[in-house]
Amino acid sequence: MTHVGERVYRSGVSKERDDAADDPTETDEPSKPWRSEILMSDAIGRLIEFWGFKRNMGRIWTVLFLSDAPLTAKDLQERLQLSSGAVSMTLTELARWGVVKKVWVQGDRRDFFVAEGNFWKMISRVLAERERVEILEAIDAMEEALEYARAKIEIGDERERRRAQRQVERIEQLLELAKLGRRLLDALLQRARVDATPLLGVLLGSRE
């Protein structure tokens, strides 16, 4: 029985394909990943690790995204040389983020998985909840520091005024830089909410 909103694939779609390893002219067993899959999964794994996610989340998502048919957890385990527990936990996390979904292949009782194209939703959420918060907190601290230094100009002696004037000039520069970062980040997030495809290209946009 299938669930509402879940895609069903005919079993013929997931039959074995001729895969190659390093040599694109050489055929190999279907469970062996192509070099293109290895390079891409490692690259995306490193990229999203930079954003605070686990590398295997990027690796598994990429293999699913590049696949021309739904894959089982066992397929992913063999292609990426991961334990069954690691694959299971990672698929659960990816599903929670909404970038991987479970599907059913007609005539097969196993669970299959496909990648959702909008991988940007993971990264944009991190940008909004972590990086943007850090920038806002830095701006608040800089504005407080600026207010203090300006007060020193008003009430301090000559030496303190010179010191405070120097700090005001430098803090204002850093504050403008932080505000620029906030504006750029806000523009990036706003553009992504409208349409991430021109911004991130096919990889992080729609697969349709």
Q: What confidence tens digit (pLDDT) does each residue in 102-158 have?
A: 998 888 889 999 998 667 777 777 777 778 888 999 999 999 999 999 999 999 888
Residue 27 has pLDDT above 60, yes or no: no
pTM, rounded to two decimals? 0.60
Task: Give 95's Cβ-side CA count (13 Å radius).
Answer: 13
Describe the crossing of helices 158-194 and 197-204 by its angle, rounded to 10 degrees.
Answer: 60
Specify the fold of 8-115.
Arc Repressor Mutant, subunit A (1.10.10)
Which ranges constitute the DSSP H helices of 2-114?
Answer: 35-50, 55-66, 73-80, 84-97
Ramachandran region of residue 107, left (φ > 0), alpha (ψ -120 to 50) or beta? left
Comparison of pLDDT for 187 and 86, the residue scoring more = 86
Report the pLDDT value the prediction gives residue 149, as an integer from 0 to 100. Answer: 94
Q: Which of 13-27, 98-112, 192-206 is the most confident on average?
A: 98-112
Residues 6+ apart with CB under 8 A from 49: 55, 58
Residue 25 has pLDDT above 70, yes or no: no
